[in-house]
Structure 1
Amino acid sequence: MAQDAGWGGGAYGGAAYGGSPYGGPPGWGGWTPPPKPGVIPLAPLRLGDVLGGAFATIGRYWKQLLGMAATLYGGAALLMTTAVAVAYSAVSDHLDRVVSLDYGESASSEDIAALVTAGGVLALLGIATMAIVSGLMYAVVPAVLQEAVLGRPVAFAALWRKAWSHVAPVIGTLIITSLFAIVPALLVLAVFVAAVISLITLDGGGGAAVAMSLGVIGVLVTGPLAVWLWIKVCLAPAAVVFEGRRPFAALRRSSELVHGDWWRIFGITLLAGLIAGVAGYVVQLPFSFLGLFPGMVGTASLDNDPSPTAVMVAVSGYLVASLLGQLVSQIFSTTFPQLVTGLLYVDRRIRTENLGPALAEAAGVPPQGPVPPPYGPVPPPYGGGAPQW
């Protein structure tokens, strides 16, 4: 394996390493633990190895991860803020006329068309911006992890080039993956709308109640299927970056790797999401409290009939602190689950393709002899072969 190559190129057999993966506790007749050139041992990973490897990657490569995330999300926020300011300056007259309408008056078609056009452009720009940012982040994290497993440094320029070269297939993979959740999401929306209609009309036994019941049944049927499919393809972004696969090939690759280990991957992924959610909330709390003080001082100085500009100035401190806290929280809650998913990808390849020796060779670890069970030679399809990395 070339030092600058991805994990999908080159063939490395396990012959020089005894034809078996590394792993196991020390003390087996002088045998040593598996090598650990990077953030994880080059052996089948336990839960502690996966979570510890994710935290270790953040600790060792925080400049690259947080720097790229802050640049991407901060740039997206700056772009959207500028776009909103430009749009407001372009349609401010139309907005003022619509806001100042008396009760019973109707807005002109010209004002409505201008506001709808500005809103549509902002919505499309926001969708495109978040798609690119999400695609880059889903490419950046595996690119960092690829070197973190081998214990090698990562340069910003190389990281950016690699992430940008994979952003299109990663975005395609994310779009296809998100389609699995569309039907349950639409059914949830239908249930919500039916519930609102039922409450407004007080028609608990009417059509709204029937629609709500059908929607709940639909969610119960399609929800588990969507979760099952999502776990089956959750390793696809890692397969795009690690192996250079296209979207549909990456989805098939993820399904192959997840096969036989669905519940374990589901449990670890769910746990990682919970950890990221709690940690993101805890990180955001200090910023929210910090923003309360300038907001309280500013609002206390307002007169009885403040203008919108005065209100915005008064609460600007709270808004800035909240946005900053949301940015920091978003960075962690986005990065940590992706690191866990990437390590699960590595774990599945170590378990099913005997990838440990190939990784050790790429990291420059000297060959070791065979190891005893339960980490020694195993029957097919887990033993032997020449894994592609």
Structure 2
Amino acid sequence: MIPLAPLGVDHILGGAFVTMRRYAKPLFGLALAGVVVLAALTLGLQVLVYHSTKDQMDRMSAAPRSIDPSDLRAVLITFGFVWAVGMLVSLVASSFIQASSAATLHDAVLGRRVPLGAVWKRAWSRTPSVLGVTLLMGVFIAIPMALFALMFFGLMMAASNGEPFVPAGLAFLLLLLSVPLTLWLLVRFSFAPAAAVLEGASPLTALRRSARLVRGAWWRTFGITLLGGLIAFIVAIVVNVPLRFAMPTPQPYTASTQTSVSMSEVYVQMLPDLGPALVLSAIAGVFVQLFFMVFMPLLSGLLYIDQRIRREGLADVLMRAAGTGTPGGPETPGGPAAPGGPQAPGSVH
């Protein structure tokens, strides 16, 4: 799949596409399973919200000028709970897909067959660690954004007192500092999910491993990741633009009477024209989402392997593993990678 040597940009990008082609079943199969489960749970949560707040919403819509505070409180609590559960489920699904991509790379770098069951088992066992990495990264990234939000709030308070100039300047300066800092943190910790899966590392250990491997290669990692994101964006355009031109123009709605009609009646009349296009658009959207969710973790995983080849002599280890047929990949025997040097092929976690 890739040369067992320091990788160039063409090897990294080409390796990601080759992996998607050769190992489409474990990659896209598990990603699709994660998306389907997420969609089913999201739909279930929406149904739960509807049935839980139907009476309150009916009373609030019937008397919008005199809303009962207890009804409003019940609706807000229900929506807040469902939103929190939905976000957690979404993070778990995203972490599982990232873990499955890294788990596929575990054997794909040696060109070995990757059974779907083995990838599932390995990915699911490492999903909590990847989820921990995601949550910790979210906390680290939220800090500069929270500082900017506090400064913006201070700007609004000062503006109300007629002194907007100094707070506005400070808020603008903080914005200029928070955006690069957030981007720097994202790139610095971009190898953490791969380290959590391929080395069996805990979330904090994976973050430290990522920071150590990215040190001295931040711009290279950022550039290749940005190029990968641009490729994913181009794929989305190539898929979606033809559908936009192919989508039929709906016929104008003609009411049979002069009375007002509901939007549902309008949609029913337009459905024969828009129905097929909406189905194709939904399929294209799922394809683009799956491509992005698989391609970007593969890119980060290959960048992680490249850095270990350059710094820790991983190529020699992989060559020995490929030559002797010993099971393993870019990990250590029996636990997380040692930070200091080359690693031996380990057992499959």
- Alignment partners' CA distance in 2, 1:192 and 1:330: 34
The CA deviation string for residues 158-203 of structure 1, in whole angstroms up to 9 with x for no partner, is 11111110011111111112223213434665688899x79xxxx7
User: 1:285–1:325: 8 Å Cα contact kept in structure 2?
Assistant: no
User: 2:236–2:288: 8 Å Cα contact kept in structure 1?
Assistant: yes
Please say if 1:122 is aligned against 2:82: yes
2:189 maps to 233
Please say if 1:221 is aligned against 2:221: no
Please say if 1:43 is aligned against 2:5: yes
Instruction: Give 3-state SS (helix, strand or coil) of 1:300's partner.
Output: coil
1:306 maps to 261
The CA deviation string for residues 202-252 of structure 1, in whole angstroms up to 9 with x for no partner, is x79945565443222112223323322322221111111111010111111
Structure 2 vs 1, CA of residues 353 and 70 (structure 1 numbering), >3 Å: closer, same or farther? same
- Taking structure 1 as the reference length, the TM-score comes to 0.74
User: 2:103–2:119: 8 Å Cα contact kept in structure 1?
Assistant: yes
- Alignment partners' CA distance in 2, 1:206 and 1:334: 48
User: 1:74–1:327: 8 Å Cα contact kept in structure 2?
Assistant: no
2:328 maps to none
Q: Offset of 1:333 from its aligned partner?
A: 1.7
1:371 maps to none
Please say if 1:177 is aligned against 2:137: yes
Pick one of 4, 29, 33 that aligns with 1:71: 33
* Residue type at the aligned position of 1:306: V
Structure 2 vs 1, CA of residues 71 and 305 (structure 1 numbering), >3 Å: closer, same or farther? farther
What does 1:79-118 correspond to in 2, within 5 Å? Answer: 79-101=41-63, 105-118=65-78
The CA deviation string for residues 58-90 of structure 1, in whole angstroms up to 9 with x for no partner, is 111122222211211122112111221232133
User: 1:184–1:226: 8 Å Cα contact kept in structure 2?
Assistant: yes
Higher relative contact order structure (alpha carbons within 8 Å, sequence separation ≥ 6): 1
Structure 2 vs 1, CA of residues 213 and 141 (structure 1 numbering), >3 Å: closer, same or farther? same
Structure 1: unaligned runs, 5 residues or longer: 1-38, 367-384
User: 1:177–1:233: 8 Å Cα contact kept in structure 2?
Assistant: yes
- Alignment partners' CA distance in 2, 1:322 and 1:101: 38
Structure 2 vs 1, CA of residues 79 and 183 (structure 1 numbering), >3 Å: closer, same or farther? same
Pick one of 334, 345, 350 that aligns with 2:304: 345
What does 1:21-40 correspond to in 2, within 5 Å? Answer: 39-40=1-2
Q: Offset of 1:47 from its aligned partner?
A: 0.7
Structure 2: unaligned runs, 5 residues or longer: 326-340
* Residue type at the aligned position of 1:357: D
Structure 2 vs 1, CA of residues 289 and 71 (structure 1 numbering), >3 Å: closer, same or farther? farther
User: 2:148–2:178: 8 Å Cα contact kept in structure 1?
Assistant: no
1:34 maps to none
1:257 maps to 213
Please say if 1:333 is aligned against 2:292: yes
- Alignment partners' CA distance in 2, 1:60 and 1:320: 28
1 or 2, which has the higher helix percentage? 2
Please say if 1:52 is aligned against 2:11: no
- Alignment partners' CA distance in 1, 2:219 and 2:125: 33
Pick one of 266, 280, 290 that aligns with 2:236: 280
Q: Runs of at least 4 residues of structure 1 off by over 6 A?
A: 190-195
Paired positions, count: 324
- Alignment partners' CA distance in 2, 1:116 and 1:172: 28
* Residue type at the aligned position of 1:300: Y
Single out whichever of 247-256 and 316-325 deviates more from structure 2.
316-325
- Alignment partners' CA distance in 1, 2:245 and 2:233: 19
- Alignment partners' CA distance in 2, 1:224 and 1:259: 16
User: 2:141–2:185: 8 Å Cα contact kept in structure 1?
Assistant: no
* Residue type at the aligned position of 2:194: A
- Alignment partners' CA distance in 1, 2:165 and 2:290: 41
Q: Offset of 1:387 from its aligned partner?
A: 2.4
- Alignment partners' CA distance in 2, 1:302 and 1:186: 51
Q: Offset of 1:301 from its aligned partner?
A: 5.5
- Alignment partners' CA distance in 1, 2:288 and 2:21: 16
Single out whichever of 300-309 and 241-250 deviates more from structure 2.
300-309
Structure 2 vs 1, CA of residues 301 and 69 (structure 1 numbering), >3 Å: closer, same or farther? farther
Instruction: Give 3-state SS (helix, strand or coil) of 1:152's partner.
Output: coil
User: 2:103–2:198: 8 Å Cα contact kept in structure 1?
Assistant: yes
- Alignment partners' CA distance in 2, 1:320 and 1:121: 31
Larger of the two Rg values belongs to structure: 1
The CA deviation string for residues 239-281 of structure 1, in whole angstroms up to 9 with x for no partner, is 1111101011111111221222222112111111221122223
Structure 2 vs 1, CA of residues 71 and 194 (structure 1 numbering), >3 Å: closer, same or farther? farther
User: 1:50–1:344: 8 Å Cα contact kept in structure 2?
Assistant: yes
The CA deviation string for residues 120-150 of structure 1, in whole angstroms up to 9 with x for no partner, is 1220121111111111011011111122111
- Alignment partners' CA distance in 2, 1:386 and 1:91: 58
